[in-house]
Amino acid sequence: MAGLRPLPLHLTTSGTPASSPGPAVLLGATDIRALAASIDLTPTKTLGQNFVIDGGTVQRIVRTARLRPDDVVLEIGPGLGSLTLALLPNVRRVIAVEIDARLAELLPSTIAFRLPGALERLTVIHRDAMNLDLRGDEYPTAIVANLPYNVAVPVLLTMLARLPSVRRVLIMVQLEVAARLAAKPGEDAYGVPSVKAAWYGSARMAGTIGRLVFWPAPRVDSGLVALDRHDPPQTTATRDEVFAVIDAAFGQRRKTLRAALAGWAGSPALAEIALREAGIDPSARGETLDVAQFARIAEQRPHQE
Ligand code: SAM
């Protein structure tokens, strides 16, 4: 970001710069409200703007992320900097991507005031994360973020697809979404996000977070999801081909795969043949299959004239 804004005077009364995060560096409720007021920001639901007001929570996120000193962390939606301040002392660089211009512009001055030595290790990009293009920047090795709730799954899956350099992820999302991302075949929460996330890595629930650590407080609790990247299943099908089967299988929940994949295969009979070739029982339901089994089905798609 070019040029730092002068620090709003009323913010200089709380916190003193330090080299490692402590209560004086991390943002509390009063700091968050003052920072928001300094840029006339009324948090908006459309952008999922719920800011963390509790230092213990951001420290817990950083601990759970198991970061290494040489990590380059991509933080999506740094907001007023709550998590950024906890990340910076622990890693080589933070690349913070923020869609809201006022927040992107304010962030460097917040870091300059609270952690001045860390400013040169922060890159702020004002952009929609869905349109992120990191050419010319350092490639992130980890994603740590308190994601905007309404776009959490597409943002996560897009980042994993576009940034193979990312090996580890720790995100805070709505508790229900966390459960879906981490669910295993046969579990109630298992669905499209679970299988697609499993293409990229193994996801697990890494904790729950109450709503009172945010301003404004959301209506739901949050969950932490950790994902360690692994190679995708060995298959001759492309990722898009596998994801098309997943979408079709869950598009008609509680139907047998023979019925749910009829459109994808061309007819129920063709779906049955493809499933049998893949070694899958045509009367099974998508909710019971793992990502490798979906890949085997994708390999059997009948050629369509
Ligand atoms: N990380 C901060 C914290 O923990 O307090 C803020 C988290 S808040 C839940 C989500 C942030 O993501 C907001 O600052 C919002 O403006 C930003 N945001 C929303 N949609 C975005 C997008 N598509 N790309 C980048 N940032 C986005």
Is the C-beta atom of 130 inside 6 A of ligand 1?
yes
Q: Hey, whose CA ends up nearest to atom 17 of ligand 1?
A: 77
**Which amino acid is located at 155 in the chain?**
V
Torsion angles phi and psi, residue 176, rounded to 5:
-65, -40
Query: Each residue of 130-159: pLDDT tens digit?
Result: 999 887 778 999 999 999 988 999 999 999
Q: Is 194 in the pocket of ligand 1 (CB under 6 A)?
A: no
**3-class DSSP string for the chain:** CCCCCCCCHHHHHCCCCCCCCCCCCCCCHHHHHHHHHHCCCCCCCCCCCCEECCHHHHHHHHHHCCCCCCCEEEEECCCCCHHHHHHHHHCCEEEEEECCHHHHHHHHHHHHHHCHHHHHHEEEEECCHHHCCCCCCCCCCEEEEECCHHHHHHHHHHHHHHCCCCCEEEEEEEHHHHHHHHCCCCCCCCCHHHHHHHHHEEEEEEEEECHHHEECCCCCCEEEEEEEECCCCCCCCCHHHHHHHHHHHHHCCCCEHHHHCHHHHCCHHHHHHHHHHCCCCCCCEHHHCCHHHHHHHHHCCCCCC
Q: List, for residues 22-69, the tens digit of each pLDDT value.
A: 546 999 999 999 999 999 999 999 999 999 999 999 999 999 999 999
CA 99 to ligand 1 centroid distance, Å: 7
Q: What is the pLDDT along the chain (305 residues), one digit of tens a residue?
A: 433 343 343 333 333 333 455 546 999 999 999 999 999 999 999 999 999 999 999 999 999 999 999 999 999 999 999 999 999 999 999 999 999 999 999 999 999 999 999 999 999 999 999 999 887 778 999 999 999 988 999 999 999 999 999 999 999 999 999 999 999 999 999 999 999 999 999 999 999 999 999 999 999 999 999 999 999 999 999 999 999 999 999 998 789 999 999 999 999 999 999 999 999 999 999 999 999 999 999 999 876 55
Going from the Cα of 202 to the center of ligand 1, the distance in angstroms, rounded, reads 24
* Chain mean position to CA 225: 9
pTM of the full predicted structure? Answer: 0.91
Report yes or no: 163 and 203 within 8 Å, Cβ to Cβ.
no
